[in-house]
Each structure stands twice: as structure tokens, then as C-alpha cells.
């Protein structure tokens, strides 16, 4: 399968960055991202590519790392006893996911072909306001397949370092598995702990947005300052999502401690 057979080029004319169609598309999506902190591109990949990617994920699923954890929204396993019990740093939440690292599924899987294709990387750079993006060079991290079975969920959290997150929904669950986001929960200058606490305790549901991510939809969002989660999954179908990691400079590899936590890889002795 060639990259041109993966992307829905009729809806997303991303081949020629000098064309008016490219400029109109990327400009519109960049404005939406800036205004809402997320943007969704429905039917970004074609059905045959999506079905192949799901088949690759399900074949590799027995090798996935089952990551079950109890953390606060800052991804810390321990709270802060000097703070009140209802401080966001002391509100601990359960999460459960199944992660397939980059090297655990085939090199010709459509999500890998998509990840390494320059027109996609160039489109994403334009949407997020970068002159250029580079592939991550870690053995685990560049693009993953994140799977959820019945009862799995992603708890409310902020992304720790990523300026943006890019995901591709490959297969939805029968129920649950909703991607929910509270845009602009905090800022770079204000942790806004009281408001974060209210979101975590469900006291302002009107501020939570459910982002449509049907099968085939690409989503780009800014999760560093916007709390987000995936609600508990139910039903026999595994929820399968591709997660893409691009970098601002070449040659980036991951932290071995992160790989040990997220992918279950052993950390080499120091």
C-alpha cells in the first residue's frame, strides 16, 4: 500500500503545498486549532487502509503492554501531603490502556507509512505553526497503536511536554471511549488549581467538550494546558487509535524511564 492509497486526497489535498487548496485547508485547520485547542479531520484515511491498520493492531495486541496506573492529572503517582486532600495534586485517578510500541507492528502498517510521509508531516507542521517537523527516532515512540478493551480508560490529565498531540481513530468501541476535553484549563502563567479541581470533580460539565473522533478521523489537539481523558470503554470491539509523535529537531529519542513506564521496556543498567 502506497501513502497515496491511505489518505483521502479528495477531501484533503495535501500533495502540493504551493496550491491554493493546500493553503485554504491548512489555514482553516490552523485557525480552528488556535480557537478551540483541537481540530478533527473526519475520514482522513480511506477504509481499506483503516481496516489493514486495525488488523495489524489486533494481531499484535497479545504483545501489548497493559499499563494500569493510579495517578493525578499531572501524571504523578504520589500526591503532596502538604496540600489539601481536594487539591488537584492529591486527586488520584485510575487509568488502564494497552500500548503497542513502534517496533511491535509491521513496517508496512498504514499508520507507519502515514507517519513517515512528507506531505502529512508538512501538513501537520502548517496546522500547528511550525516551519518544519521531524520524525522521532526512538525504537518505541514515533507512532504507537493505543488499544482499549472493556473497562479501559484514560483518566483526566495534562500532556507533560508535547506542544501538540496527534491521533488517528482506527476503530471505535460500541459504547464509551469518548474523547473529552476542557480547553484552556490552565495557562503557562497560571496553574489555575481551583478550576482544575472543579473539572476533576465534575463540577463544571458545561465546560467539557466531547470531540468527535469516528473511525478514520485524525485529531490534533493541544493537551499541555487542556485537561483531557477517554471515558471507560464498553463492548466487544477493541478501541484502536494511532498516536503520532513529531519533533521540532532531528535525532530525538525517548527517555528510557518513560519507555519502561509506557511500553514496559527494561531500563538498561546505569
Q: What is the pLDDT of residue 268?
A: 54
Number of Cβ atoms within 10 Å of the Cβ of 201: 11
Quick: pLDDT tens for 202-234.
999 999 999 977 999 999 999 999 999 999 999
What are the residues whose beta carbons fall under 8 Å from the beta carbon of 89, sequence distance 6 or more?
Answer: 72, 74, 76, 79, 80, 83
Q: What is the pLDDT of residue 158?
A: 95
* Residues 115, 81: Cα–Cα separation, whole Å: 43
> What CATH class does 3-263 carry?
mainly beta
* Residues 131, 39: Cα–Cα separation, whole Å: 19
Contact 9, 45 (CB under 8 A): no
On the 0-12 / 13-18 / 19+ scale of CB atoms within 10 A, 260 is middle
Average pLDDT over residues 7-36: 98
Which pLDDT band holds residue 255 (cuts at 50, 70, 90)? confident
% of the chain with per-residue pLDDT over 70 = 99
Does residue 259 surpass a pLDDT of 80?
Answer: yes
Q: What is the pLDDT of residue 118?
A: 98
Q: What is the pLDDT of residue 162?
A: 75
Which secondary structure element, helix H or strand E, spans residue 122, and what is its range? helix 118-128
Contact 37, 222 (CB under 8 A): yes
Q: Which of 137-151, 190-204, 214-228, 256-270 has the lowest mean pLDDT?
A: 256-270
On the 0-12 / 13-18 / 19+ scale of CB atoms within 10 A, 32 is middle
Does residue 261 surpass a pLDDT of 90?
Answer: no
As beta bridge partners, residue 169 has 241
Which pLDDT band holds residue 266 (cuts at 50, 70, 90)? confident
DSSP 74-95: TS-SS--TTS-TTSGGG--EEE
Q: What is the pLDDT of residue 176?
A: 94
Does residue 269 surpass a pLDDT of 80?
Answer: no
- Nearest 5°: phi and psi at 66? -85, 105
Which pLDDT band holds residue 200 (cuts at 50, 70, 90)? very high
Of the candidates 56, 7, 49, 54, the residue with the CA atom closest to the CA atom of residue 240: 54
Which pLDDT band holds residue 81 (cuts at 50, 70, 90)? very high
As beta bridge partners, residue 144 has 243
Give the largest Cα separation in the chain, rounded: 57
Does residue 254 surpass a pLDDT of 90?
Answer: no
Amino acid at each position: 500500500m502506497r501513502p497515496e492509497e491511505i489518505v483521502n486526497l479528495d477531501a484533503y489535498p495535501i500533495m502540493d503545498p504551493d496550491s491554493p487548496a493546500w493553503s485554504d485547508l491548512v489555514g482553516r485547520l490552523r485557525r480552528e486549532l488556535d480557537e478551540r485547542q483541537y481540530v478533527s479531520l473526519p475520514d482522513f484515511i480511506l477504509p481499506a487502509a483503516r481496516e489493514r491498520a486495525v488488523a495489524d493492531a489486533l494481531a499484535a495486541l497479545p504483545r501489548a503492554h497493559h499499563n494500569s496506573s493510579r495517578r493525578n492529572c499531572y501524571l504523578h503517582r504520589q500526591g503532596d501531603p502538604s496540600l489539601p486532600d481536594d487539591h488537584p495534586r492529591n486527586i488520584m485517578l485510575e487509568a488502564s490502556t494497552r500500548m503497542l510500541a513502534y517496533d511491535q507492528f509491521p513496517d508496512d502498517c498504514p499508520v507507519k507509512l502515514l507517519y513517515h510521509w512528507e506531505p502529512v508531516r508538512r501538513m501537520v507542521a502548517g496546522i500547528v505553526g511550525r516551519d518544519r517537523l521531524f520524525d522521532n527516532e526512538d525504537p518505541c515512540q514515533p507512532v504507537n497503536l493505543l488499544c482499549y478493551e472493556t473497562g479501559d480508560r484514560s483518566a483526566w490529565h495534562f500532556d507533560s511536554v508535547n506542544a501538540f498531540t496527534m491521533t488517528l481513530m482506527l476503530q471505535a468501541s460500541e459504547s464509551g471511549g469518548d474523547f473529552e476535553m476542557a480547553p484552556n484549563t490552565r495557562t503557562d502563567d497560571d496553574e489555575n488549581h481551583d478550576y482544575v479541581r472543579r473539572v476533576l470533580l465534575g463540577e463544571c460539565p458545561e465546560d467539557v467538550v466531547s470531540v468527535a473522533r469516528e473511525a478514520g478521523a485524525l485529531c490534533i489537539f493541544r493537551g499541555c494546558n487542556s485537561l483531557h481523558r477517554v471515558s471507560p470503554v464498553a463492548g466487544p470491539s477493541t478501541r484502536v487509535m494511532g498516536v503520532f509523535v513529531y519533533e521540532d529537531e532531528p535525532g530525538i529519542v525517548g527517555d528510557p524511564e518513560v519507555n519502561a513506564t509506557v511500553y514496559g521496556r527494561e531500563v538498561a543498567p546505569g
